[in-house]
Amino acid sequence: MRDVIRLAFLGILGAGLVLPQVISAQTAKPRSSAANAGGALVNGDWAYVGHDAGGMRYSPLKQINVDNVKNLRVAWTYHVGDISDGKGFARRSGFETTPILVDGTLFLTTPFNRVIALDPETGKEKWTFDPMVDIVAGYGDGLINRGVATWLDPSSGAGRICRRRIFEATLDARLISLDAATGQPCIDFGSSGQVNLRDVPGYGHANLGEHAQGWYHMTSPPAVIDNMVIVGSAIDDNNRADMPSGVVRAFDARTGALRWSWDPIPQNRPESTSTWLTGAANAWSIMAVDAERGLVFVPTGAASPDYFGGLRPGDDKWANSVVALHAKSGEIAWGFQLVHHDLWDYDTAAPPLLATLSHDGKLVPVVIQGNKTGFLYVLNRDTGIPVFPVEERPVPHSDVPGEAASPTQPFPVAPPPLARQQVSLEDAWGPTPADREFCREAMQKLRNEGIFTPPSLQGTLVSPGQLGGMNWSGYAFDPQSNLLIVNTNNLMARVRLIPRDKVAADNEEGEYGAQRGTPYAMRRRFLQSPSDLPCGAPPWGNLTAVDMTNGTIRWQIPLGSMQNFGGPHDPVASGAINVGGPITTAGGLVFIAGTTDPHVRAFNIENGEELWKAELPASGHATPMTYESNGKQYLVIAAGGHQRIPEEPLGDALVAFALP
């Protein structure tokens, strides 16, 4: 399961149990002409969700800087109109898009998969495209989409239809190609502009008739390299053991023809008596590409189901990994597994980030890869060999019948962990003595031997919990200072396995996962006191600057506030739950929203000092972006609340800031 905030005090139901209602479903608008598509990218563009193909999230713009950022004001606001409150038949929506800017146009997506083109200076709509996604299909991640990708056809002349294309991967598993200038489907791509990803070979695994449509969907933008568009998938991997394959596939960017497919784990068929049975290990987050090397870097999640691995013995390669694939063939160049035989939902959720570091007196091209564990791995981009040492260390054994946990896990020697991985009874926290005692008693009942303590029948304390650590929010790299900026969470959770014959009698609160096909269902929930605040001491969210030259922490500060979260409290220390990543700029700034309090903030990258804060119409659980248009720099963030936090007001606003 992915990017799930499941604090029980919010009354959040488990995946597959919510039956939301559509508040507003804006239909397609008439399409109008946009500026001519095509042409080279310019310095002020933001052409990928991560700014560049390697996902550094660094902009060379510096009109907005540490001296004048305090003067930022709202320049324009655009309302997409797509909101579901989660009370009817559709799931609750979240607005997590990061727009891209190419050819003088902003392109973004809505929770209902509509694609919108805007004028970057005014926010005025140029065109919209509605793929008419079935929003009541029960997508496990709720109604979200994080953006689009673009491709310029090198064989097409200026002004030709579909010279520049916009690609979107939809919740109902379609890959759609649009003309960037008009929003019209590129009819030479697939079938009238789209490829049904459920019909293409490689979808994978037996018993597909039992798989509901919403179990296999897309939430992240595709990757584009070598005239190909590459997609992974989001899979509801905790419903059952035998889920769809986590296959990654490449399609011809012009025709939509399948070029290659790669499956992170071996195919398992029920008729086989010699192999295990599982699925998923899917790439649901954002990929990075290196065109010069012809490599695609794929982050993979857990094999199904998350919390019991008795049907998938061994390390489960290449689940929970970062894998470099040759773009031309889909063959593995190298792979590095961050978690062996995952039993904790420790997906490699953060996108890979490509950078060049100075190490031992040499410039080294690297892949920086974080994990929900809070560990950060730095790997040589050509070989996958760790740049900072990684040690295989013994970890606790499982006491669950039928389970064989990995005896070791890979621990980076540097950088240090960026999230809390070890808690004791002395760490029990609450705003009152009664709250603290409640938390201490709850923690005392759980198996707790530090990170990688396996799930158990009695219940296990897991820290970090399934949110992480690092989630899809990822990180941003500033090449001027060699600092990596990372936002993380410090939340511990309780996970308990339930024998199949005791499921009917189990009525404990928390998210339920059926894990069908295995001997155990599961329940999990974050630990919180009667005050509704987490049982671990604040800060519950941090922003950290990691010096990537020597693998040390330069500074770390609490990010955001939970002062009014879930109701009024006595004064609470800073540091909030956060989902939504940072960007950096040549102006010496870090911009980030992401917190449960509805603000976007700017920090001085040198020391972490907060320089500016603006209130948003709703919490901004998205990654911002910045661009230049007609000589002015803009900062843009999607503010829509989070699909898994009903206490947060929903919104549909794309907000642009600029200097007066």
SS (H, E, C) 218-238: CCCCCEEECCEEEECCEECCC
> With 60 as the cut, is the pLDDT of residue 384 above it?
yes
> With 80 as the cut, is the pLDDT of residue 532 above it?
yes
Catalytic annotation, residues: 345
Whether residue 431 has a cis bond before it, omega within 30° of 0: no
Which pLDDT score is estimated for 642?
A: 85
Rounded mean pLDDT of 449-462? Answer: 98
- pLDDT interval class at 211 (50, 70, 90): low
Which pLDDT score is estimated for 42?
A: 72
Which pLDDT score is estimated for 5?
A: 35
Q: Which residue has the higher pLDDT, 242 or 390?
A: 390
Mean pLDDT (the chain, rounded): 89
Strand-pair category, 583-585 with 58-59: parallel
- Rounded percentage of the chain residues whose pLDDT exceeds 90: 77
CATH architecture of 8-421+433-658: 8 Propeller (2.140)
Rounded mean pLDDT of 628-657? Answer: 91
- pLDDT interval class at 34 (50, 70, 90): very low
Which pLDDT score is estimated for 24?
A: 32
Nearest 5°: the CA angle 216, 623, 60 is: 130
| Each residue's pLDDT tens digit, 481-516 | 999 999 999 999 999 999 999 999 998 888 999 999
| Each residue's pLDDT tens digit, 122-136 | 999 999 999 999 988
Which pLDDT score is estimated for 140?
A: 78
> With 90 as the cut, is the pLDDT of residue 402 above it?
yes
Which pLDDT score is estimated for 30?
A: 29
Query: Which residues, in sequence order, are CB contacts of 301 under 8 Å at separation 6+?
Result: 2, 235, 237, 246, 280, 281, 282, 283, 284, 285, 319, 320, 347, 348, 349
- pLDDT interval class at 204 (50, 70, 90): low
Which pLDDT score is estimated for 645?
A: 73
Which pLDDT score is estimated for 32?
A: 31
Which pLDDT score is estimated for 570?
A: 80
- pLDDT interval class at 21 (50, 70, 90): very low
pTM of this structure: 0.92
Which pLDDT score is estimated for 271?
A: 60
Rounded mean pLDDT of 345-361? Answer: 96
Rounded mean pLDDT of 627-651? Answer: 89
Tokens of 379: 């790997």
Q: Cβ of 2: how many Cβ atoms within 10 Å? A: 26
> How many CA atoms within 13 Å lie on the side-chain side of 138?
13
Rounded mean pLDDT of 299-317? Answer: 95
Which pLDDT score is estimated for 40?
A: 52
Which pLDDT score is estimated for 362?
A: 92
AA letter at 164: R
SS (H, E, C) 640-652: CCCCCCCCCCCCC
| Each residue's pLDDT tens digit, 217-233 | 999 999 999 999 999 99
Which pLDDT score is estimated for 19?
A: 26
Between CA 264 and CA 497 the distance in angstroms is 26
Which pLDDT score is estimated for 38?
A: 34
Rounded mean pLDDT of 588-595? Answer: 98
- pLDDT interval class at 20 (50, 70, 90): very low
Which of 464, 469, 532 lies closest to 492, judged by CA? 464
| Each residue's pLDDT tens digit, 318-341 | 999 999 999 999 999 999 999 999
Domain range list for the chain: 8-421+433-658
> With 60 as the cut, is the pLDDT of residue 1 above it?
no
Which pLDDT score is estimated for 531?
A: 85
Which pLDDT score is estimated for 269?
A: 59
Between CA 350 and CA 463 the distance in angstroms is 18
Rounded mean pLDDT of 257-274? Answer: 78
Which CA distances in Å does 334 have to 248, 281, 380, 382, 473? 15, 17, 10, 8, 25
Between CA 363 and CA 357 the distance in angstroms is 5
Tokens of 365: 């091209």
Rounded mean pLDDT of 37-57? Answer: 82
Rounded mean pLDDT of 39-56? Answer: 87
Which pLDDT score is estimated for 199?
A: 82
Edge-to-edge strands, sheet with 332-337: 288-290, 295-299, 321-326, 332-337
Which pLDDT score is estimated for 72?
A: 98
> With 60 as the cut, is the pLDDT of residue 272 above it?
no
| Each residue's pLDDT tens digit, 153-168 | 999 888 899 999 999 9
Rounded mean pLDDT of 58-86? Answer: 96
Which pLDDT score is estimated for 84?
A: 86
> With 90 as the cut, is the pLDDT of residue 426 above it?
yes
